[in-house]
Amino acid sequence: MKATTRARITESLSGFDAAAHLERDPISFAHRYEAPEDKEVVALFAALLAYGRVASIARAVTVACERMGPAPSLALMNDDVASAGSRFEGFVHRLTRGEDLSRLWLGIGETRRRFGSLEAAFLASDVQGAPDYHAALTGLRQAIVTPYARERERQAFEHFLPDPRRGSACKRFCLFLRWMVRGPDEIDLGLWRGASTSRLVMPLDTHIHRIGLSLGLTKRRSTDWQTASEITRSLKVLDPTDPLRFDFALTHMGIDGDL
């Protein structure tokens, strides 16, 4: 990494007020719950709904939380197909519909019954010695979708809960992992203690891609998993054990046009 790039990132982040940006970030919804198991459910929904404009995302997550109720973890363990369908009936957020949320809801419940927790399902597919959590993320996704698999998937559901095997950057899934593994601090939850921050991959969206190209963190033009990995490797020069500590600030500075 060039010294100028290192200095630019360090200088930009030195005056960044993370707490001031929290309420504009989807993770703020998870912070409103006390129980770790509720935080986890809300965080997964919030991350997967985090596409589109900031205001639109906030509205969608607000509605989803209202439908989930005050104790989401308990509710999802008690719902069946019919009640889950009724719970999210009429929900719309861009490509995502209520049936997508109800399938995720039911899938989380089945995954917890089978593995005990989402973290256990995630770690069950981990490949020891792998540089990242691609295999573990794939395994978690499969655990969630398999109980309610359909012969033909809705294309919109594939967008909502992307399959890492297709080469997608899986930005929103990687964002959820950051929230679960990093911290706990004023932003990230740090609920999954069995995973390492050093193996997280940067949640890649258009803002991070533009910044990555501008700073020379990547030369790749595709917003895919390989590009996300390349940006992550570049940031590991600054922090080998926790490269995603830069993500929150870089993302919000990109949204605000400050970088």
Number of domains in the chain: 1
Query: What is the rounded CA–CA span in Å between residue 201 and residue 197?
Result: 9
Q: Which runs of consecutive H residues, i.e. helices, occur in the chain?
A: 3-14, 18-21, 27-30, 36-48, 54-68, 72-78, 81-87, 98-115, 118-124, 134-145, 155-160, 171-181, 206-215, 225-235, 247-256
Query: What is the rounded CA–CA span in Å between residue 169 and residue 162?
Result: 9
Query: What is the rounded CA–CA span in Å between residue 56 and residue 199?
Result: 31
Q: What pLDDT does 112 receive?
A: 97
Dihedral-angle region of residue 79 (phi above 0 means left; psi in -120 to 50 means alpha; beta otherwise) = beta
Q: What pLDDT does 19 receive?
A: 87
Query: What is the rounded CA–CA span in Å between residue 59 and residue 55?
Result: 6
List the chain residues with pLDDT less than 50.
none
Residue closest to 204 by CA, chosen among 242, 173, 179: 173
Q: What pLDDT does 9 receive?
A: 82
- At which residue do the structure tokens 């929230």 appear? 179
Q: What pLDDT does 258 receive?
A: 63
Residues whose CB is less than 8 angstroms from the CB of residue 228 and which lie 6 or more positions away in sequence, other chains included = 169, 171, 174, 201, 202, 203, 204
158 within 8 A of 180, measured Cβ to Cβ: no
Tokens of 18: 């993370």
Structural domain range at position 193: 3-256
Q: What pLDDT does 148 receive?
A: 80
Dihedral-angle region of residue 94 (phi above 0 means left; psi in -120 to 50 means alpha; beta otherwise) = left
Tokens of 243: 């490269």
Give the phi and the psi of residue 19 in degrees, each rounded to 5.
Answer: -60, -35
51 within 8 A of 94, measured Cβ to Cβ: yes
Q: What pLDDT does 4 receive?
A: 77
Strand 92-93 with 96-97, pairing = antiparallel
In degrees, rounded to 5, the angle at the alpha carbon of residue 108 between the alpha carbons of residues 44 and 34 is 55
One-character DSSP codes across 143-210: HHHGGG--SS--HHHHHHS--GGGTB--HHHHHHHHHHHS-SSSS-----TTS-GGG------HHHHH
